[in-house]
Chain A
């Protein structure tokens, strides 16, 4: 039992050495298009709940520049690094691709699901940044349109998506979707074995 486990572990460490550069490369290739998509989708999502729609999210280099059409040109615009929002695709992909046999048992399907969940978390993360900025940084306009409860709730959501989810999602998706392989790797019994 110890030997196969050790062999699996050795394979995992070996594969991690190339899966990390592969994940980084994929991320670099898709980053410009993904930045544009995120900004576009976040703007549309915010505008869905506005009347008249006024949120603006535009991409400038790596930043999402956030503002409102109905404010003076010189009024507050926030530049927020999109890399900070979606860098966790790299460790998530690296961990998944490093698992020996990740593609077996509908592994590709699970990979698509994991990426979709990450994309949803990035999109919501950006939306909370936009909303928190509107709620706290636009002077009297913020005070008039957002109450203390809304500001606190948006602050909490921003924190949740900014730190806890950004840092833990790669691990949770890796362990959650590929628990068979992860269990084998760390020496837990297979998921089919219920507690007696």
Chain B
């Protein structure tokens, strides 16, 4: 117990505790039905429209209905867990919990959000084409490759941000 208290008195200990609390609150909020209806679902629909926008640039005749993105060639349903929100929460909570001034957190949050959005669009477009050309690989690509990459991307972004802004001032 004393060891834990001593650890929590250190900068990494305080960071980890704040991070855990922030993640707990964020994921608990996301699980609430009103938040799911008013935030998660509309956001997921927005992600589907984003994906459709980029796929149309490649000449795909895609349409969006709620969280389903479809064309005569293939259709993908974007569920909670595929919308990039988890990666955003991992990054945002990491930034919020990190001991840095607010003026350094704000641009980090903004750029990180945009970066993860772009990464998620790449994921959706890549998965769509995997489904079109190699449907037998879709499940592996979806679960194994892209979910792992999205976690690593969020952590990497946070590490990059913290390295850049984890200066003497931040301590």
Contact = CB atoms under 8 A, between A and B. Distances in A.
A167 B163 contact: no
B50 interface: no
Q: Which residue of A13, A162, A168 has the most chain B CB atoms within 10 A of its CB atom?
A: A168
Interface stretch (A85-93, A102-110, A116-124, A134-142): A85-93
B13 A191 contact: yes
Interface stretch (B114-122, B126-134, B148-156): B148-156
Interface stretch (B56-64, B69-77, B103-111, B139-147): B139-147
Interface string A166-189: 011011101110010011011111
Interface residues of A, number: 47
Contacts of B170: 187
Interface residues of B, number: 42
B159 A9 contact: yes
Contacts of B154: 171
Contacts of A6: 163
A183 B140 CA distance: 34
Contacts of A194: 6, 9-10
B159 A186 contact: yes
B162 interface: yes
Given A163-B81, A176-B16, A5 B163 contact: yes
Contacts of B13: 179, 191
Contacts of A13: 156
Nearest to A9: B163
Interface in A145-172: 156, 159-160, 162-164, 167-168, 170-172
A52 to B, nearest CB: 34
Interface in B5-46: 6-7, 9-16, 19-20, 23, 27, 31
A12 B159 contact: yes
12 contacts: A20-B152, A81-B143, A83-B140, A87-B148, A91-B151, A167-B81, A179-B12, A186-B162, A187-B170, A188-B171, A189-B11, A191-B12
Interface of A: 1, 5-6, 9, 12-13, 16, 20, 24, 62, 81, 83-84, 87-88, 90-91, 94-95, 156, 159-160, 162-164, 167-168, 170-172, 174-176, 179, 182-183, 185-195
Given A24-B148, A191-B10, A191-B12, 10 more contacts: A20-B148, A88-B148, A163-B86, A168-B23, A171-B94, A175-B16, A182-B12, A187-B171, A188-B12, A195-B9
